[in-house]
Amino acid sequence: MPKHPKLPYWRLSSFYIFYFAALGCFMPYWALYLQSLGYSHAQIGQLMAIMPATKIISPNLWGWLADHTDRSVLLIRISSCLTAACFLLIFWGSGFAWLALTLALVGFFWNAPMPLFEAMTMSWLRENAHNYSRIRIWGSLGFVASVFGTGWALDKLLVIGHLPSLLLGLFIGMGLVALLLPSRSVRVADVVKGSLSAIIKRKGVIAFFLACFLIQAAHGPYYTFFSVYLKEHGYDAGQTGVLWSLGILAEILFFAFSTVIFKRHSIRAILLVSIALSVLRWLLIGWYVDNIAVLAFAQFLHAASFGANHVAAIQFIHKHFAWPHQSKGQALYGSLSFGLGGMTGSFASGELWVSLGPSLLFSVAAGLNVLALLVVWARVERVR
């Protein structure tokens, strides 16, 4: 029998670290950076919607290329390096149109490697897919270190105008790690029979993608305006970083125990519980922002609203989308949830933040999770 190559644990983990460290530098603070440039809430919502909007096209295009060429690692290297190269444009202007163009280009390349990398990671794990969290947890550690470190730096050492420089350094690190990834084919002997459309028509698959869309749309007010929301209620950059970090620490704890959880419970059951807890999270953030103890507890529920939902989704995709549709399945998940859902949530948040107010807007987010709960309950199958 052929000997299985050794899992390149640290090279895989390092890519997760830099990818999500960049996300941890961007997501909590970019709205504050845009606010410092004088942009309104509506304009911030529009600019923040551009990055997830690119996920609608980018992962599908790169996923199609990966499945047709079986050159996932090369495509990961190219897209990672071009992310850093395109981000250099941010230093050449700060007008709305220039920022929109730059964010569109960066998003097109930044959103490309992760679906390919997730598929490649699962191909390394093969029958040990339940150990996915042992590698993915390093992405969460990178995110929390970046959120906390950036918040501390902006509060004690730097001004918000230095944020692009910090982010560029992380993009360069991501590109360098990508160049060190070992070559790997995601092809497997157990090829799925049937077309991509046949897989999508399976019972529960469309419902699963709809639920993912609703879950990520509900995150719109949080990802776009949580830092602005905290600033408007008297929290400084350091406190903002700590609160973001609490959410990721909870996610890390979930990843640490997820192997046991997924062995004992079905994907459907985990989705139902995590979505229900997401409803509670958005209501607490919307109505108790001035109570730091309640807000901290709500941040710990990030383990459910993102951590549990994401790992369940990765397992669902791995089960239903085998090669040659593995990368396309990951791309569909990214496009419909973080892409279309994230874009819709960010854009709508910018338009409604002032007219509805934060409390009602987070209540709307809770309502979207209620709809997702009903969809999963009615249509998603019981799969272990």
Asked if 9 contacts 136 with a C-beta cutoff of 8 angstroms, the reply is no
Asked if 59 contacts 317 with a C-beta cutoff of 8 angstroms, the reply is no
Q: Which of 47-61, 186-200, 321-335 has the lowest mean pLDDT?
A: 186-200
Residue 193 pLDDT: 52
Asked if 35 contacts 228 with a C-beta cutoff of 8 angstroms, the reply is yes
In the predicted model, what is the mean pLDDT of residues 334-344?
89
Closest CA to 365 of 268, 269, 298: 298
Q: Quick check: is 83 in a domain?
A: yes
Q: Quick check: is 4 in a domain?
A: no
Q: Using only C-alpha atoms, what is the Rg of the chain?
A: 20
In the predicted model, what is the mean pLDDT of residues 132-150?
87
Q: Quick check: is 384 in a domain?
A: no
Residue 134 pLDDT: 81
| Tokens linked to 339 | 């892409």
Across the chain, mean pLDDT equals: 87
Count of alpha carbons within 13 angstroms of residue 111, beta-carbon side: 30
Cα separation, 205 vs 187, whole angstroms = 22
Residue 198 pLDDT: 65
Q: Quick check: is 210 in a domain?
A: yes
pLDDT band for position 125 (cuts 50, 70, 90): confident
Residue 374 has pLDDT above 80, yes or no: yes
Contacts of residue 136, Cβ cutoff 8 Å, sequence gap at least 6: 16, 121, 255, 311
What percent of the chain lies above the pLDDT cut of 70? 90
Residue 288 has pLDDT above 70, yes or no: yes
pLDDT band for position 1 (cuts 50, 70, 90): very low
Angle at 223 between CA 358 and CA 327, to 5 degrees: 145
Residue 320 pLDDT: 75
Residue 49 has pLDDT above 60, yes or no: yes
| Tokens linked to 64 | 């199609």
Residue 229 pLDDT: 96
Cα separation, 366 vs 305, whole angstroms = 11
Cα separation, 343 vs 55, whole angstroms = 9
The DSSP-derived string for 297-353 is HHHHTHIIIIIIHHHHHHHHHHHH--TTSHHHHHHHHIIIIIIIIHHHHHHHHHHHH
Q: What is the total count of domains within the chain?
A: 1
Q: Which of 53-67, 301-315, 344-358 has the lowest mean pLDDT?
A: 53-67
Domain range for 282 is: 9-379
| Cα end-to-end distance, the chain, whole Å | 29
Q: How many helices (H) and strands (E) does the chain have?
A: 20, 0
Q: What is the CATH number of the domain that holds 157?
A: 1.20.1250.20
Q: Read off the amino acid at residue 313.
A: A
Full-prediction pTM beyond 0.85? Answer: no
Q: Which of 11-25, 243-257, 314-328, 363-377 has the lowest mean pLDDT?
A: 314-328
pLDDT digits (tens, 9 = 90+) for 229-264: 999 999 988 898 889 889 888 988 888 888 788 888
Q: Quick check: is 3 in a domain?
A: no
Residue 3 pLDDT: 47
Q: Quick check: is 1 in a domain?
A: no
pLDDT band for position 273 (cuts 50, 70, 90): very high
Q: Quick check: is 99 in a domain?
A: yes
Q: Which of 5-14, 271-280, 333-342 has the lowest mean pLDDT?
A: 5-14
Residue 310 pLDDT: 86
| Tokens linked to 257 | 């125990």
Q: Quick check: is 368 in a domain?
A: yes
